[in-house]
Amino acid sequence: MKSVLLRGALVALALVVSAIKADAQTGPNPLQLAPVVVTATRIESLAADVPASISRIDASDVRDGHALINISESLGGVPGLLARDRQNYAQDVQISVRGFGARSTFGIRGVRLYVDGIPATLPDGQGPISNVEIGSVGRIEVLRGPFSALYGNSSGGVVQVFTEEGSGPLRLSFGVAGGSDGLLGFGAQAVGSSGGFGYNVSASRFRTDGYRDHSATEESCFFRAFGTFQNFARQFGMRGWWRG
């Protein structure tokens, strides 16, 4: 009797296992997400394969819902990073990564800055970032922790800004931002390619009366980049800004 019951239980178990396998084979295919490639480690790698703390902010996250006045708007969601907009446009935003740079009275210190692979940090450790035309940005990568030593000593973190590469048909974009204290900003961008030659041209203007006396500011920024598909080098670049 026990032998008959044991055989019946085994047969039932086999039927359940075969049913589960059949259901798994006929189920929907798993969704394959596009891989996220980062270059903050100097070599293009998948973010999941890099043993470092890396964050990537794409162009859509930079532009959507932001006034595009300074880079602190885009870095607020990066863990371990604090970006302060101190409303002092004569100096710069304050960026600290895991505490590095928090004691800087002006500018950015203790954090390495790169724009299109070109170092923006000066030899004394201070780096300006306000000269970047935010409307031209394609992505921002932030490297935190000890792996930032790949870019030199005394670096508590690395912030890399990559402007958008020109490819595909011509794309035009325009933006307007307004707010209190007479804040008004507008910008335009043209990016695309023609005959294997890519281009990215953007310009913006911003003004505000400031929330305190003698803090009125005007700023204009212009950026252009040209290159081939094989090497979209910023062979002709010009950035200009005026404050008053």
Specify whether the CB–CB gap between 229 and 196 falls below 8 A.
yes
DSSP result, 79-112: TTEEEE--S-TTS--EEEETTBTTT-SSSEESSE
Query: Domain end: 138, 163, 188, which one?
Result: 163
Give the three-state DSSP class for 128: coil
CATH code of the domain covering residue 53:
2.170.130.10
Domain that holds residue 200: 171-228
pLDDT tens for 91-118 read 778 888 888 888 877 778 888 898 888 8
Between 176 and 9, the more confident residue is 176
Say what the pLDDT of residue 234 is.
Answer: 45
Residues 114, 47 share a domain: yes
Instruction: Of 202, 185, 71, give the one whose Cα is nearest residue 129.
Output: 71
Query: Domain end: 133, 163, 193, which one?
Result: 163
pLDDT tens for 19-73 read 555 554 555 677 776 666 666 555 666 766 677 788 899 988 888 878 888 888 8
Residues 178, 78 share a domain: no
| DSSP 3-state percent helix, strand, coil across the chain (nearest 5) | 20, 35, 45
Residues 198, 146 share a domain: no
Average pLDDT over residues 191-197: 82
Whole-angstrom CA distances from 26 to 12, 19, 21, 23 are: 21, 11, 9, 5
Residues 60, 112 share a domain: yes
What is the number of other CB atoms lying within 10 angstroms of the CB of residue 46?
10
Give the C-alpha separation, 175 to 220, whole Å: 14
Phi-psi region of 80 (alpha: psi -120 to 50; beta: other; left: phi over 0): left
Bridge-based pairing of strands 108-109 and 112-115 is: unpaired
- Asked if residue 99 belongs to a domain, the reply is yes
DSSP result, 160-216: EEEEPPP-SS-EEEEEEEEETTTEEEEEEEEEEEETTEEEEEEEEEEEE--SSTT--
Specify whether the CB–CB gap between 38 and 47 falls below 8 A.
yes
Which position has the token pair 């979209």? 232
Say what the pLDDT of residue 9 is.
Answer: 53
| Total tally of structural domains belonging to the chain | 2
Residues 135, 188 share a domain: no
- Asked if residue 238 belongs to a domain, the reply is no
pLDDT at 74 over 60: yes
Average pLDDT over residues 221-244: 54
Which position has the token pair 């589960």? 20
State the Cα torsion 203-209-212-217 to the nearest 10°. Answer: 40
Q: How many residues can be counted in the chain?
A: 244
- The backbone torsions φ and ψ at residue 68, rounded to the nearest 5 degrees and listed phi first, read 60, 45
